[in-house]
Amino acid sequence: MTDETRVLYNQDCPICRFEIEAYRRRAGSLGLPIRFEGLDQAEDWGLTPDQAAGQLHVRQNGRVLSGIEAFRALWSALPGWRWLSRVCGWPVIRPFSEVLYARIVAPALYHAHLRRQRRRR
């Protein structure tokens, strides 16, 4: 088993790309074993690019996580962000953050992704 954390994200989404670039810079400056992959790698994760575009995915310790759990895994691997992973795991905050991401944030970003794809065609 590897200690590497892998992140699968929608590099075509300007918001996703902006956020992930901040994590990438932090991980790179600290030499952390975190690899960032775009939608073209979705098949390696057992996902279609469309499925992968729907939310963040992280592979860590042999498990594939998605949604808020993926963010928590990524944040826990990044010094300076670990506090956010802990806060989002608190019993009162966790369900709220899961619902907020799964029902509002991720769908809004995914629908914006679909609109960008339609404009490109």
- Please list the rounded mean pLDDT of every run of 10 residues in the chain (121 residues): 86 96 97 97 96 97 95 97 98 97 97 94 87
User: What does the alpha-carbon distance between residue 39 and residue 30 come to, in Å, rounded to a whole number?
Assistant: 25
Query: How far from the centroid of its chain's Cα atoms is residue 97's Cα?
Result: 14
Total-model pTM: 0.93
Q: In degrees rounded to 5, what are phi and psi of residue 5?
A: -105, 130
pLDDT at 35: 97
pLDDT at 2: 59
Instruction: For tokens 């590099």, name the residue.
Output: 11
Residue 11 and residue 41 in contact, taking contact as beta carbons nearer than 8 Å? no
User: What is the end-to-end Cα distance of the chain in Å, rounded?
Assistant: 42
